[in-house]
Structure 1
């Protein structure tokens, strides 16, 4: 090898020292499998039902509430048919 020092590297892990924290609500944000970009990864089982279809219960931000029902485009607006929950 002509330049062995250029390829030498050292990684030191200190598990007792926390430098930064990642918010639990940030986990998996903006993951979109377009054109098979993930290819065999992302198996932390935080994806509900192993798909992106089911909402996570109880994760709405403080001061917000989830409204159920059916939301469909209607001309230039939106038609909402209420669900069985609170109105």
Structure 2
């Protein structure tokens, strides 16, 4: 989940999108600005950026905030295991 007005999202998006493509992870971007207040509650979002991994229709893992490229790489690899 991200917001186009979020400065952290603007820094993270150019890192995680190519990384997900390289690792063959189906990453969907959901702009919370399109959901108004309901998106934050619906997805239990406290801050952006937030990446949520769903497994069998349920949340499996999430990573929140502007982190290092290595942190995202390790997280993406952990969901592939």
Q: TM over 0.5, yes or no?
A: no
TM-score by length of 1: 0.20
Higher helix share: 2
Please state which structure has a larger fraction of its residues in strand. 2
TM-score normalised per structure 2? 0.21
Instruction: With a CA cutoff of 8 Å and minimum separation of 6, indicate the structure with the bigger relative contact order.
Output: 2
